[in-house]
Structure 1
Amino acid sequence: MNPISTCKSRFLVPLFVFLISVAPLSGETTEIGNNVQLLRYYQNPENIVLKTSDGFIRIQTIAAKSLEISYASDSNFIKPSDALIAKPIVNAIIIRNTTESLDVRMGDMYFSIKKAPFEIHITTGSNNEQAIITGPFSINETTGVNFRLDLRDKIIGGGARAIEMNRRGKRLSLNNEANWGYEWGAEILNYSLPIFYSSKKFMVFFDAPQKALADIGFTNRNRFRIESEVKAFNLYLMTGPDYKALLKEYTTLTGTQPLPPLWAFGNLQGKYGYLSQIHASNVVDSIIKDKFPLDAILLDLYWYGKGIGDFRMGNLSWEQSNWPKPTDMINNF
């Protein structure tokens, strides 16, 4: 036997094993270190402002069990979006300043601010567990917030997606995008929501109208990060004893939609789609003739275009050749 080939065969498997052992595993890339430090703080009647080595943070109560946490790289905090109807609450602010931390009480909310490395520990509604916010806030070209993930933490939310209810291990885009003919595994389905529940009984609302990203233990299994390319954001953190209480707290911030009209709960007839006024009228007449209840008919897209090759998406004018008298049709319905 060739001694060189023997040597090669002896080291082939060990070398292969060695290469596997040092290869990085998906979802376990190195965490960017938290070198952020609290430099000083300012106590105001309605809030506290924290100056850190990575920007400014303002904390104030927005509801009985909710905090508004605002970040700005240059202390120019942005206004809340139109989604918010609640106004900040002025509560007595009690701060105990120690060498290592600031212990803060704002109304019914309790949290502790670790000075170095900078962290915010917020008491939640689940057996005195904590939501822990860590630095850094600015990473490369993005700005966001990090939550520490423990081994058993579950994260739910983010809007419509054909994936597991527990979003942990996912990297989800927070934007609205159509997805036709989707199947299981589709990570975005038309509408997303920048809202997440934690099994530790707190809820997060990332109030940023621009496109954002939620990295839920994907890049690092121990970190949940929501980020965007804008250098300032508002975050709302709600606590409560259960998910029902969290949802109630959230609607205190954003309000509730009006009750839909009674017909909206009825029988709505729809298909893809009704090609003309004659087609739609015949369908309505046949349903009524057969004594089926009918409260509305959904015309879909042919009322403003002719279909494939001529959809005219976004046009809000009737396609006159196929729908010559739409007002008469509606009155007859």
Structure 2
Amino acid sequence: MIDRQLRVSLACAGFALFSANALAEVQTATLENATLTIDTDTNDFKIKALRNNSFQVTYLTDGKGAPYANLPSMALPEEATSAVTKDIAGDVELEETATTLTLKFNNISAHVDKSTHVISYSVNGKVVAKEQDGLNISDNGVSLSFALDENEKLYGGGQRVLGMDRRGHSMPLYNKAHYGYTTLSNQMYFGLSAVMSSKNYSILFDNTASGELDIGKTNSDELLFKAQGGRASYIMVLSENLIDTVTNTVAVTGKQPLPPRWLLGNFASRFGYKSQNEVMDVVDAFNTQDIPVDAVVLDLYWFGKDIKGHMGNLSWDAATFPEPEKMISELRAQDVKTVLITEPFILTTSKQWESAVANNALAQNDNGAPYTFDFYFGNTGLVDVFSEAGQDWFWQYYEKLAAQGVAGWWGDLGEPEVHPDDIQHMWQSTKVSGAEVHNAYGHQWAKTVYNNLTALQPDTRPFVLMRSGFLGSQRYGMVPWTGDVSRSWGGLKPQVELALQMSVFGMAYTHSDLGGFAGGETFDPELYTRWLQFGTFSPVFRPHAQDNIAPEPIFHADPVKSIARKFIQLRYDMLPYNYSLAFENALYGTPLMRPVAMAYGESDWFENADSYLWGDGLLVSPVTSANQTVWPTKLPEGVWFDFFSDTKYLGGQTVNYPLSQDNFPVWVKAGSFMPMADGLSRTEQFDARKIEMHYWHDNSVSSSSYTYYEDDGKNPASVEKGLYTKLQLSASVDEKAALTLTLDSEGSYIGMPKQRDITYIVHGLSEKPQSVSIDGRRVPVMWGEKGKTLSLAISCGYQQSVKVVIM
């Protein structure tokens, strides 16, 4: 253990970590507060041990080299780079040999070669990653180079449509809209300067500037990040398996706060509702047609009657929304939340242009005047979300709308959609160019909205919908979507890949405009139905589209409407299961949508984007082609049940799922539990006193367990203060094939029910049980012969243990 400052004298040249061409004689290496600082006669760098099996490597310029290289980290929470490292300092060791400096923490190590100064990284003594040319600063910007093994596969780059294994691809690191994309896209709304390897490590390039990510395309054995300038730093995350790599990567960049429970409901959304009366009529139609809905989303018509010329008004159009507070209040009385769009562009024709200029709220040109330019919506300036003046000015409008009752916030065009390289932002008293901070714009905007909302409404969980950000944006509650996707089968096909590539890096609520957004001359009922079925098992259920074809199911005829109603109702019935997934994500960083490889580590699953896991229990394989009668799906090892029919399938093979209009390829893993609630039309109606607990039984599963998380659905401090309960459920089969189900509880929250009525529904039994007992007392058997299911109602106190034996 090292509990004191340790200084090692080094006399080596050729510091390749910084530049292959520059010689930098090293003077000393100092370990203090879990940070190894290496001083040279020209440049310094440091390796810092972080929590979550991670190291941070940072180039220190001391005012030399590229400008802005010492900008603060965007990828890491502030506490990760502060004195919190003192908590782990005692577990960090420095070892020196004749050739190597090794910084050790837990079972991971960073090894600095004294001759070449290349850093390699090991887990349990085995090297898994190694710099090639390392971290460099030059007149051309900042770069980072790592060696790649021949058989290594890598996720990375964020939103792209390139296949799950991004090896062999090069892509811009520049967030940019791709309108109407389908089955190929190399540049999209939300890129990530990061990779995750099949060798169970992640590299996060902590640089927000315009750049490029080359994953073995130019040189097959090299991973290369390049940026026009900006911060010279990266984070290395090391683990022993993929699930730990994912959760450690998410944890080090900051876990997503627990969202409001209503996020998991149905959203009424389109481009766009043009009047107050239309909004109320749409919600009334959902009510009269018995389709659940929890929120209505207002696009840009809330502040102007036309698409162009009004952006930046940031206030209601009184002609079309004459009584917005009354509208919001009436919706709230129906447990329907109001969500508004805002954009960071302030048109010179808008009502707020003069105010923005007077308050120094806009990004500037070289002369210190507001930088103006033309784009689709008109001549405009851009809010400087990095400057305090810009943040304060922009926030005043959110504050006014929040006072009127707006419950959710939609930030659009936040790449920004147009962002000149030479535009000037003021960030922590330093002028930086648009090129230097382009990829951080949406991140900083979300941070401003989230932090101000938590201060303004400390008892409310913010809802922040944004389409662009950076590594770590999830810690500001960001809910991303995949942009203006084509309303076509080609648009539906890549949505699993897009969501999974984002989820493993922390953006767990990435979702699509259900039904597709862009184009489409005629309504395709099968495409629409299949997309909504997929959305049922997605983080956010939000049909949204250009309104030449209605995105809401209420405007379509049967059988489309009745199928949509069935699946939306299923979404609400699954609320306890889905909300428990949200809790898992907030506690541990585990995604809601998960690559199959996270649970079934065979190398061939790493590339699979045909299917995904929805939590631990469900395997979903979306139908992405028209006119199919069967849907071939590769099942992992084990026993699987058709979620809709309970038909049993043996895994480890490809099966042909028989399709109809109103079913969908979803399987349940034998041994899985699923809590459900029956018949909700709003998430607010959820009653923790009444839960259905489904269990899928097969004798091949000798034991299994599940944790169900529950709180009041609203308290922002639930996770932080432990104000939640866990129901621990387990199942076991003995040598006589008797099934035992046990339930235990732990923890509590304000408003938690003192008594629960739980109905166990056991699937997979081949025949009616001979006997059923609860805590040793025999009870009558409720058997459904048609579905071969056992139903069993029990009542228990909130801290009571229950044991059910089925023979």
2:32 maps to 45
**1:101/1:115 contact within 8 Å kept:** yes
* Residue 303 of structure 1 pairs with residue 325 of structure 2: no
User: Relative to structure 2, which stretch is displaced further, 85-94 or 58-67?
Assistant: 85-94
Q: What are the within-5 Å matches in structure 2 for residues 114-153 of structure 1?
A: 114-124=113-123, 128-135=126-133, 137-153=136-152
User: How much does 1:231 deviate?
Assistant: 5.7
**1:37/1:116 contact within 8 Å kept:** no
Change in CA separation of 1:321 and 1:60 when aligned onto 2, cut-off 3 Å: same
2:73 maps to 80
**2:154/2:195 contact within 8 Å kept:** yes
- Within 2, Cα distance between the matches of 1:217 and 1:52? 32
**TM (normalized to structure 1)?**
0.79
* Residue 93 of structure 1 pairs with residue 131 of structure 2: no
- Within 2, Cα distance between the matches of 1:321 and 1:248? 49
- Within 2, Cα distance between the matches of 1:315 and 1:167? 42
User: How much does 1:209 deviate?
Assistant: 3.2
Post-superposition Cα deviations, 1:221-255, rounded to whole Å, max 9, x if no partner, equal 22112232336422111111122112222233233
User: Relative to structure 2, which stretch is displaced further, 46-55 or 259-268?
Assistant: 46-55
User: Relative to structure 2, which stretch is displaced further, 233-242 or 35-44?
Assistant: 35-44
2:229 maps to 230
Change in CA separation of 1:221 and 1:187 when aligned onto 2, cut-off 3 Å: same
1:182 maps to 181
1:17 maps to none
Post-superposition Cα deviations, 1:101-124, rounded to whole Å, max 9, x if no partner, equal 334434543232223333111014
User: How much does 1:188 deviate?
Assistant: 2.3
Q: What are the within-5 Å matches in structure 2 for residues 1-333 of structure 1?
A: 34=20, 39-40=25-26, 41-46=28-33, 47-51=35-39, 55-74=43-62, 78-81=71-74, 83-84=76-77, 85-86=79-80, 87-88=84-85, 89-90=88-89, 91-98=91-98, 100-124=99-123, 128-135=126-133, 137-230=136-229, 232-310=231-309, 312-333=310-331
User: How much does 1:53 deviate?
Assistant: 8.9
- Within 2, Cα distance between the matches of 1:164 and 1:56? 39
Change in CA separation of 1:132 and 1:38 when aligned onto 2, cut-off 3 Å: farther
User: Relative to structure 2, which stretch is displaced further, 50-59 or 253-262?
Assistant: 50-59
Q: What amino acid sits opposite 2:242 in the alignment? A: Y
- Within 1, Cα distance between the matches of 2:151 and 2:211? 25
Q: What amino acid sits opposite 2:58 in the alignment? A: S
**1:161/1:188 contact within 8 Å kept:** yes
- Within 1, Cα distance between the matches of 2:272 and 2:266? 17
- Within 2, Cα distance between the matches of 1:166 and 1:315? 44
**2:200/2:238 contact within 8 Å kept:** yes
Post-superposition Cα deviations, 1:24-47, rounded to whole Å, max 9, x if no partner, equal xxxxxxxxx945667324122232
Percent identical pairs in the alignment equals: 26
Unaligned runs of 5+ in 1: 1-32
Q: What amino acid sits opposite 2:257 in the alignment? A: P
User: Relative to structure 2, which stretch is displaced further, 202-211 or 135-144?
Assistant: 135-144
User: How much does 1:55 deviate?
Assistant: 4.1
Q: What amino acid sits opposite 1:45 in the alignment? A: E
- Within 1, Cα distance between the matches of 2:76 and 2:118? 28
Post-superposition Cα deviations, 1:51-80, rounded to whole Å, max 9, x if no partner, equal 569843201201151111111344885543
Q: Number of residues paired by the alignment?
A: 298
**TM (normalized to structure 2)?**
0.35
**1:144/1:226 contact within 8 Å kept:** yes
Q: What amino acid sits opposite 1:43 in the alignment? A: T
User: Relative to structure 2, which stretch is displaced further, 100-109 or 196-205?
Assistant: 100-109
Secondary structure of the 2:287 match is helix
User: RMSD across aligned C-alpha pairs, in angstroms?
Assistant: 2.7
Unaligned runs of 5+ in 2: 1-18, 65-69, 332-807
Change in CA separation of 1:154 and 1:283 when aligned onto 2, cut-off 3 Å: same
- Within 1, Cα distance between the matches of 2:107 and 2:281? 62
User: Relative to structure 2, which stretch is displaced further, 270-279 or 110-119?
Assistant: 110-119
